[in-house]
Amino acid sequence: MVKGPEAAVLAAFEAAKGFMPLDEGLALYAAAAEAGRLGLPLLEIGTYCGRSTVLLAGAARAAGVTALTVDHHRGSEEQQPGWEYHDPETVDPELGVMDTLPAFRRTLNRAGLEEHVVALVGRSPQIAALWAHPLGLVFIDGGHTDEHAGADYEGWAPHVAEGGLLVIHDVFPDPVDEFTGQAPYRVHQWALASGEFTEVSATGSLRVLRRTGAADAHR
């Protein structure tokens, strides 16, 4: 049975800016801890201020692997000024644009996890195009449009090792959630329809899938 996160890691998660509720966070940690047994890196797309990153990093530290997190740190669509999830504290006062990198670095530092995380700062498709190594876990939690969520899936799912886990956040089947959760839902459906992944668990809007087939994620 997978143990939960250490108290300091859980406290850092709860103190960090972000939107993931506790039950989904604990499910993410459990998936990361399980995937860490493969001895491969754990990768997240969508860092924001590091709320979920500390859980991946805590699991990575316990497993002796590295957590990787991908983000351009300029905020996704729903985090821009005028939108519901915008936080003025994340705006660079000099440039007038979002920059969540400083908050992310503070989150990791306060959690004592900086040495266990590699931050890949840039756009997910560009970084994925350069990536050539297997991963124990891929956590998709970036942009919520079909363009961005689909690119994250196609760019990173092929790198999930056999027996590894694909985790997708904000999966909302109800069409009323078109802006916030329908694109992740469609990614979830593509993954299942590919025959390469089997669903392991569902907690809130978090879905955990295991690779059981060949690595070919093209729709």
Catalytic residues: 144
Q: Report helix, strand and coil shares of the chain as percent, to nearest 5.
A: 45, 20, 35
Place of tokens 């590091």: 50
The DSSP annotation for 128-162 comes to HHH--S-EEEEEE-S--SHHHHHHHHHHHGGGEEE
**Contact indicator for 53, 61 with CB cutoff of 8 Å:** no
Token duo for residue 73: 């740190």
CA proximity to 166, closest of 196, 208, 115, 219: 208
